[in-house]
Amino acid sequence: MRCARCEFENIPGQTRCIRCGSILEAGSAVIDIYPPRMPAWRKPIRAVRRWARTQRVLSRMPATVQRGFDLVVSDSLVGLMLSIIPGLPHLIRRRFREVRLLVLLWFILLCASLFFYHSPTGAVLIGLTLAVHAWIAVRYGLVEEIRGFGERVALVLIVVIFLALVYWAVPRVLIRGFGGGYTSLAIPARNISRGDYFLVRHVPRAEEPLPRGTLVLIEPPRIRNAQRDLRLNQRQRMIGQIIGLAGETVRVEGTAYVIGGQRLEPSQFPVPHWLQQSPPRAVTGIAVPDHSYFVSTDYAVAVHGHAAVTDQAISNACIARTSDIRGRAFLHWWPLSRRRFMEQ
């Protein structure tokens, strides 16, 4: 207890001051002689650190003499893991005011990068988003804990690589079943040009077939004929258009598809250039088997010598099984001027 007269700190429970003998007031503040206890949420962390020291994963030196990355790992690893959510460790330690503007900037950049997804502008914005996120994580006491310039640079690189892996994995876990692809077809009736980008979502297998004209994501195959003179190759996934359904036969006459004797409108169901040059030779056309579709898309076709595009090659390239369709286009994403939801 503190003496009001001489300000001497007396042992708790004394009624008179040891130095001056004054009567201590009963309402004087009591000094807690017990040290503050560790928060409950930090006890498991301390147990892990002790186990790591016994296994020689961390240094056995006291924290006051640790240097470099031993100190960073022992004291800031949890903060780095919590920094997957920008500002979370600061919020827990009541230091959010230090990074609130950075968190706001990160959120704005993230929204802008999603809006410009799959464009050069979007790539730049997602890079800036990652940089701001990394700086927020580094500011959680990491830079102050190490002194060497080389160690600081290495630390920043580790944080950037760690967050880059998080940015790559999170969309694949949280929004599974979604993807995207380019189209190689120009469909004037639907205001679709060659090279447009579409977002697609996975379509579960159902008994009812997809309607004619639906845009679907497929993965083009590598096709060669028996003489290995013909090559049909495309490196990336692309958007194709469903032309024929199961049980139908598909023929090509000039610039139009003919199904069951009915000619499809070329502006709505365009024939790719390679099929116009080498249409199916069979009079009845290409038969579509059960649980399959005839999908129209523009491949890069290379013919060498006297080889020709055979009906078998056309079937292998255009017949897609239901299970081979990666998804159905639902949003015309790029270019920005034609962004819209697709008609179902």
Strand 238-244, strand 178-183: pairing: parallel
Judge whether 80 and 140 are in contact, CB under 8 Å. yes
Q: Both 232 and 296 in a single domain?
A: yes
Q: Both 107 and 126 in a single domain?
A: yes
Per the structure, the count of domains in the chain is: 3
Predicted local distance difference test score (pLDDT) of residue 28: 47
Tell me the residue type at 273. H
Which of 138, 155, 174 corresponds to the end of one domain? 174
Q: Both 163 and 291 in a single domain?
A: no
Domain that holds residue 267: 180-341
Which of 174, 204, 229 corresponds to the end of one domain? 174
Q: Both 54 and 146 in a single domain?
A: yes
CA nearest to 331, candidates 204, 183, 205, 112: 183
Predicted local distance difference test score (pLDDT) of residue 309: 73
Predicted local distance difference test score (pLDDT) of residue 113: 92
Handedness of CA 160, 162, 165, 171 (dihedral sign): negative
Helix 120-138 × helix 100-115 angle, to 10°: 160
| Tally of CB atoms within 10 A around 115 | 13
Structure tokens at 108: 């704005």
Q: Both 17 and 90 in a single domain?
A: no
Whole-number Å distance between alpha carbons of 59 and 49 = 10
List Cβ neighbours of 201 (8 Å cut-off, separation of 6 or more). 177, 178, 179, 327, 328, 330
pTM assigned to the model = 0.65
Whole-number Å distance between alpha carbons of 175 and 169 = 10
Predicted local distance difference test score (pLDDT) of residue 53: 67
Which of 174, 209, 231 corresponds to the end of one domain? 174
Predicted local distance difference test score (pLDDT) of residue 64: 45
Q: Both 45 and 144 in a single domain?
A: yes
Handedness of CA 321, 322, 324, 329 (dihedral sign): positive
Q: Is 117 exposed, middle or buried (0-12, 13-18, 19+ CB in 10 A)?
A: middle
Whole-number Å distance between alpha carbons of 123 and 277 = 38
- Each of the 344 residues of the chain gets a pLDDT tens digit; together they read 778 778 788 887 788 888 888 888 755 455 556 666 777 777 887 787 777 667 654 445 454 444 444 444 444 566 667 788 888 877 877 778 888 899 999 999 999 999 998 888 989 999 999 999 988 888 765 555 566 677 777 778 888 888 899 888 888 787 777 888 888 888 888 898 988 999 998 877 655 688 888 999 887 665 554 444 455 555 567 888 999 888 889 988 888 999 988 899 988 999 988 888 888 888 788 888 888 899 988 876 655 544 567 788 788 888 888 887 888 898 999 888 889 988 75
Give the residues across from 253 on adjacent strands: 256
Q: Both 7 and 135 in a single domain?
A: no
Q: Both 102 and 221 in a single domain?
A: no
Q: Both 98 and 113 in a single domain?
A: yes
CA nearest to 103, candidates 154, 142, 139: 139
* CATH value at residue 257: 2.10.109.10
Q: Both 208 and 273 in a single domain?
A: yes
What is the three-state SS of the chain?
CECCCCCCECCCCCCECCCCCCECCCCCCCCCCCCCCCCHHHHHHHHHHHHHHHCCCCCCCCCCCCCHHHHHHHHHHHHHHHCCCCCHHHHHCCCHHHCHHHHHHHHHHHHHHHHCCCCHHHHHHHHHHHHHHHHHHHCCCHHHHCCCHHHHHHHHHHHHHHHHHHHHHHHHHHCCCEEEEEECCCEHHHCECCCCEEEEECCCCCCCCCCCCCEEEECCCCEECCCCCEEEECCCCEEEEEEECCCCEEEEECCEEEECCEECCCCCCCCCHHHHHCCCCCCCCEECCCCEEEEECCCEEEECCCCCCCHHHHHHHHEEEHHHCCEEEEEEEECHHHCEECCC
Q: Both 164 and 199 in a single domain?
A: no
Whole-number Å distance between alpha carbons of 229 and 102 = 59
Q: Both 13 and 87 in a single domain?
A: no
Cα atoms in the Cβ-side hemisphere of radius 13 Å centred on 35: 3
Predicted local distance difference test score (pLDDT) of residue 195: 87
